[in-house]
C-alpha cells in the first residue's frame, strides 16, 4: 500500500507503504540519496515490528529487510552503475541484476536473472547485453551496436508488432542524468521473459546506420521448448535528410518475422509508428503489412491457410479470428488551420478472396465557408463460387453558414456520382446526385444467388488446382474449373521410383494409362500419387495363376475426416477410397529371378498435408449483401454470395 512520496533532508523517499507478513508489520520505502558523485537507491527497504512481542523487549521484535540496491557514478564522460534485486515468492526465489558501463561514445548495458523454482524444483536464468558505439565503419554504413543473450529454462515472449520498439534487445532510451531510474527500468523486463522448464533461447543482434539516413536495430532469436522457433525483430528509422532541424520525412517502421515450427505458423509483419510523417510533422503516416501462413496440425482447421494484406481488408470481408489486422495504409495532413487531407488504401489476398481499395478526402474550412472533395474505390472478389463486387465514387460539395441577426441557416450544394458493380454476370447501378435532382440507373440482368459447387464440381476443381501449371492458370482453374467433359486432369499419377531399364524406346518415368515400362525385379518401386485427398487406401496382394501368395493385404490407418470447404457444407464429411490391385500382364515377357519371393512386396505409406482452405471444415457465415457497401442497397438485384470460411 503506497502512502506518500516526498523529499527529506537530502534523501528522496518514494513508494512508502505497509505490509503484514508472518506476524510482522513492515514499513516499506524506496529511498535515494547522493554521497558526493555517487548515488544510492534502497529498493523496498523494510523495517518490521512483531506486534505480539512489543511487551517483551528481550525477544526479537524488530526485523530489517532489503529487496534491492542500486549504485551509480555519473560524471561524464564516465558512467558506471549497477543494480541488484532479490525476491522470494511462493513460486520462485530469484536474483536479478543490471549493469551500465559507459565511456563516451561507448556504453555497455547488461541485465539478467537467476531463479530457483520451488514446485517443481528447477533452476532458471537469462542474461542479455548490448554494446553501443562506433564499432565498424564502412563507406556506406556503420555498425554502432551489438546485442547478445541466452536463456536457460526460460522463454522469450515476442512482442506484438506495435510494441517491437519496447523489446529489451532493441529498446533505446537515453540515460540522461537519471542513471538510477534507468537502472530500475533495466531489470523491469518480466513482461518479455517467462520461466518454462526445458525452454532455451539464444539471441544476437546488430544496430546499423546506412547511407547517413537509415538506422536499423534488429535481433535474431532462436528458441526451443522443445519445438524450434526462429524470429527476427527490429526497428528501422529513416530520416531524410538526417541531422537537420526540419527533415523532409521521418519514417519509423517496426519489423517482425517469425517461424514457429511447433505452432506451425510463419509470420512477417511491418507497421509504421505514430511518429512517422512526410513533408511536415503534421502530415502523419499510418499503416501496416502482414503475411501469415499456417502449415501443420497444431491448429488443424488453419492448416494450409494463408493471408497477405497491406492496410487491412474490405469492410464487407468477414475476417477470420486468426487473421492479422494491420491498420490502414494512410495519410492525415492538417495544412494550416483551414485545409485537412485524409487518405487511406488497402489490399489483401487470401485463398478465398482478393480485395483492394482506397479513399481520398480533402476539406477546406474558412470561417462560415466549408468545401470538400472525396473520391473512393473498393473491390472484393470471391474465388469459388466466383463473384465480385466493386464501387467507385466521387463527391464535391460546398456549404456556407449564413448568420442573420435573429436566425442562422446553412446553404449547401453537393454533386457526386457513384458506380456499383456486381457479377457475374455483370450488373450494377449508377447513381448521380446533382444537388437539385438525383437519379439511379440499373443495368445488367437480374440473377439469383450463385450456388456453391456440387461434389462433381469440387472434384474437378481439386484436379485442376493440382496440376503443374503457371500461377495465372492455377488461379483461373480455381475460379472457373473446367467441366468434366473438357477436363484433362487425372486423379492419379504413377511414377517409377526404381528398377527402370532405360533404352532408346522407353525412358518415361511417369506414365499415362497406356504406357508400358521395362523394369527389373531387383530394386523395382512404383509410386501412386493421388491429387484428391484420401480417407482410406488399400493394396491387394498380387495373385498369379489364381494362387494367393503368402503376403497379406495392406490397408492404411485411420485418417482425419475430410471436408470440402468450397461446397459450404457445415457438417458433411467426404469418404474417399483408393484400392490398388496388382496383376501379371499375360502379353508381357516375365523373367523370374531365382531368389525372388513374395516377402519382397512392401508398401510404404506417405502422408502429406492438404490445405485447410480446400479440405477444412466450413463454418457458415451469412453472405455479403450490397448493404455492406453503401447505405442504400440494390433493390432489383440479389445479394452477392461470399462465404469466408
Average pLDDT over residues 396-420: 85
Give the pairing of strands 427-434 and 408-423: antiparallel
Check pLDDT > 70 for residue 482. no
- Tell me: pLDDT of 617 over 90: no
C-alpha–C-alpha distance, residues 70 and 516, integer Å: 83
In this predicted structure, what is the pLDDT of residue 344?
93
List the one residue out of 521, 599, 533, 541 whose CA is nearest residue 563. 533
Report d(CA 118, CA 90) in Å as an integer: 7
> How many angstroms separate the most distant Cα atoms in the chain?
118
Mean pLDDT, the chain, rounded, equals 76
| C-alpha cell recorded at residue 465 | 488446382
Q: Is residue 80 very low, low, confident or very high in pLDDT (cuts 50, 70, 90)? A: confident
- For 572-586, write each residue's pLDDT tens digit: 777 888 888 777 665
Q: Helix, strand, or coil here: 19? A: strand
Q: What is the pLDDT of residues 278-306, one digit of tens each?
A: 888 888 999 999 999 988 766 667 777 88
Cell matching residue 183: 537502472
Highest mean pLDDT among 222-236, 431-445, 462-476: 222-236
**Per-residue model confidence (pLDDT) at position 188:** 74
Worst-scoring range by mean pLDDT, 336-340, 369-373, 467-471? Answer: 467-471
Residue 271 has pLDDT above 90, yes or no: yes
Q: What is the pLDDT of residue 42?
A: 79
Note whether 17 and 30 are within 8 A (CB).
no
| Of 619 and 188, more confident | 188
CA 59 from chain center: how many Å?
A: 61
Q: Do 217 and 167 touch, CB atoms closer than 8 A?
A: no
The single-letter DSSP state of residue 529 is E
Q: What is the mean pLDDT of residues 609-636?
A: 50
What digits encode the pLDDT tens for the residues 135-166? Answer: 888 877 888 889 999 999 888 888 888 888 88
At 125 the three-state DSSP class reads: strand
Q: Residue 329: what pLDDT? A: 92
> Which segment, 238-247, 353-362, 528-537, is predicted with the most confidence on average?
353-362
Name beta bridge partners: 377.
Answer: 358, 392
DSSP codes joined into one string, 450-495: PPPP-HHHHHHHHHHHTS---HHHHHHHHHSPPPTTT----SEEEE
pLDDT band at 468 (very low <50, low <70, confident <90, very high): very low
Confidence of residue 14 (pLDDT cuts 50, 70, 90): low
Q: State yes or no: pLDDT of 317 exceeds 80.
A: yes
Contact partners, residue 630, CB within 8 Å, separation at least 6: 391, 418, 420
3-state SS class at 189: coil
Higher-scoring residue by pLDDT: 475, 421 = 421
| CB-based burial label for 38 (10 Å; 0-12, 13-18, 19+) | middle
Contact at 8 Å (CB) between 133 and 107? Answer: yes
Residue whose grid cell is 474465388:
383
Buried b (16+ CB within 10 A) or exposed e, 276-315: bbbeeeebbbbbbbbbbbbbbeeebbbbbbbbebbbbbbe
More reliable by pLDDT, 120 or 385: 120
- Among residues 459, 457, 490, 468, the alpha carbon closest in space to that of 576 is found at 459
Closest CA to 568 of 422, 457, 425, 448: 457
Least-confidence region, from 82-86, 602-606, 635-639: 635-639
Q: By the 8 A CB rule, do 89 and 165 touch? A: no
Q: Write down the pLDDT at residue 537.
A: 83
Q: Say if residues 496 and 526 touch (Cβ distance below 8 Å).
A: yes
- Strand, coil or helix: 164: helix
pLDDT at 518: 76
What pLDDT shows up at residue 214?
86
**How far is it, in rounded angstroms, from Cα 410 to Cα 400?**
6
pLDDT given at position 461: 73
Q: Residue ranges of the domains in the chain? A: 1-75, 77-262, 292-449
Q: Give the per-residue pLDDT at 472.
A: 41
The Cβ-side half-sphere exposure at 119, using a 13 Å CA radius, reads 3
Amino acid at each position: 500500500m503506497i502512502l506518500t512520496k516526498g523529499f527529506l533532508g537530502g534523501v528522496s523517499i518514494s513508494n512508502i507503504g505497509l505490509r503484514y507478513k508472518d506476524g510482522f508489520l513492515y514499513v516499506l520505502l524506496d529511498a535515494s540519496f547522493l554521497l558526493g558523485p555517487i548515488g544510492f537507491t534502497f529498493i523496498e527497504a523494510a523495517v518490521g515490528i512483531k506486534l505480539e512481542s512489543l511487551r517483551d523487549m528481550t525477544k526479537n521484535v524488530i526485523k530489517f529487510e532489503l529487496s534491492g540496491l542500486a549504485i551509480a557514478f555519473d560524471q561524464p564522460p564516465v558512467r558506471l552503475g549497477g543494480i541488484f534485486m532479490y525476491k522470494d515468492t511462493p513460486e520462485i526465489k530469484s536474483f536479478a541484476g543490471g549493469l551500465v558501463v559507459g565511456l563516451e561514445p561507448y556504453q555497455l548495458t547488461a541485465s539478467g536473472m537467476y531463479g530457483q523454482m520451488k514446485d517443481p524444483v528447477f533452476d532458471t536464468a537469462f542474461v542479455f547485453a548490448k554494446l553501443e558505439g562506433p564499432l565498424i565503419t564502412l563507406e556506406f554504413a556503420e555498425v554502432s551496436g551489438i546485442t547478445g543473450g541466452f536463456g536457460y529454462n526460460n522463454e522469450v515472449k515476442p512482442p506484438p508488432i506495435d510494441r517491437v520498439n519496447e523489446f529489451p534487445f532493441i529498446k533505446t532510451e537515453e540515460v540522461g542524468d537519471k542513471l538510477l531510474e534507468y537502472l530500475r527500468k533495466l531489470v523491469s523486463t518480466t513482461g518479455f521473459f517467462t520461466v518454462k522448464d526445458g525452454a532455451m533461447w539464444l539471441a544476437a543482434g546488430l544496430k546499423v546506420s546506412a547511407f547517413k539516413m537509415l538506422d536499423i536495430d534488429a535481433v535474431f532469436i532462436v528458441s526451443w521448448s522443445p519445438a524450434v522457433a526462429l524470429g527476427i525483430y527490429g526497428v528501422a528509422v529513416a530520416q531524410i535528410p538526417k541531422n537537420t532541424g526540419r527533415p523532409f520525412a521521418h519514417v519509423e517502421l517496426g519489423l517482425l518475422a517469425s517461424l514457429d515450427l511447433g505452432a506451425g505458423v510463419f509470420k512477417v509483419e511491418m507497421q509504421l509508428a505514430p511518429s512517422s510523417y512526410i513533408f511536415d510533422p503534421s502530415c502523419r503516416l499510418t499503416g501496416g503489412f502482414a503475411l501469415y501462413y499456417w502449415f501443420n496440425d497444431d491448429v488443424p482447421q488453419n492448416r494450409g491457410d494463408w493471408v497477405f494484406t497491406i492496410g487491412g481488408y474490405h469492410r464487407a470481408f468477414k475476417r477470420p479470428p486468426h487473421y492479422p489486422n494491420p491498420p490502414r495504409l494512410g495519410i492525415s495532413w492538417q495544412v494550416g488551420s483551414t485545409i485537412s487531407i485524409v487518405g487511406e488504401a488497402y489490399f489483401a489476398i487470401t485463398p478465398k478472396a482478393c480485395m483492394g481499395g482506397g479513399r481520398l478526402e480533402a476539406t477546406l474550412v474558412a470561417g462560415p465557408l466549408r468545401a470538400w472533395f472525396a473520391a473512393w474505390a473498393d473491390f472484393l472478389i470471391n474465388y469459388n463460387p466466383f463473384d465480385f463486387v466493386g464501387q467507385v465514387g466521387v463527391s464535391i460539395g460546398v456549404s456556407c453558414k449564413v448568420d442573420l441577426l435573429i436566425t442562422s441557416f446553412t446553404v449547401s450544394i453537393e454533386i457526386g456520382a457513384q458506380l456499383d458493380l456486381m457479377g457475374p454476370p455483370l450488373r450494377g447501378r449508377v447513381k448521380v446526385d446533382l444537388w437539385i435532382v438525383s437519379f439511379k440507373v440499373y443495368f445488367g440482368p437480374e440473377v439469383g444467388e450463385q450456388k456453391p459447387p456440387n461434389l462433381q464440381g469440387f472434384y474437378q476443381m481439386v484436379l485442376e488446382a493440382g496440376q503443374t501449371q503457371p500461377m495465372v492458370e492455377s488461379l483461373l482453374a480455381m475460379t472457373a474449373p473446367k467441366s468434366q467433359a473438357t477436363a484433362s486432369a487425372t486423379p492419379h499419377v504413377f511414377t517409377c521410383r526404381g528398377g527402370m531399364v532405360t533404352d532408346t524406346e522407353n525412358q518415361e518415368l511417369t506414365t499415362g494409362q497406356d504406357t508400358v515400362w521395362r523394369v527389373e525385379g531387383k530394386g523395382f518401386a512404383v509410386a501412386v500419387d493421388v491429387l484428391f485427398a484420401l480417407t482410406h487406401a488399400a493394396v491387394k496382394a498380387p495373385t498369379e495363376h489364381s494362387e494367393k501368395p503368402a503376403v497379406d493385404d495392406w490397408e492404411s490407418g485411420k485418417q482425419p475426416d475430410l471436408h470440402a470447404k468450397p461446397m459450404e457444407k457445415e457438417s458433411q464429411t467426404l469418404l474417399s477410397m483408393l484400392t490398388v490391385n496388382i496383376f501379371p500382364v499375360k502379353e508381357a515377357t516375365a523373367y523370374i529371378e531365382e531368389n525372388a519371393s513374395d516377402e519382397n512386396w512392401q508398401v510404404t505409406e506417405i502422408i502429406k498435408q492438404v490445405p485447410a482452405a480446400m479440405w477444412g471444415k466450413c463454418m457458415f457465415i451469412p453472405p455479403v449483401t450490397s448493404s455492406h457497401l453503401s447505405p442504400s442497397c440494390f433493390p432489383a438485384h440479389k445479394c452477392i454470395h461470399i462465404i469466408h470460411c
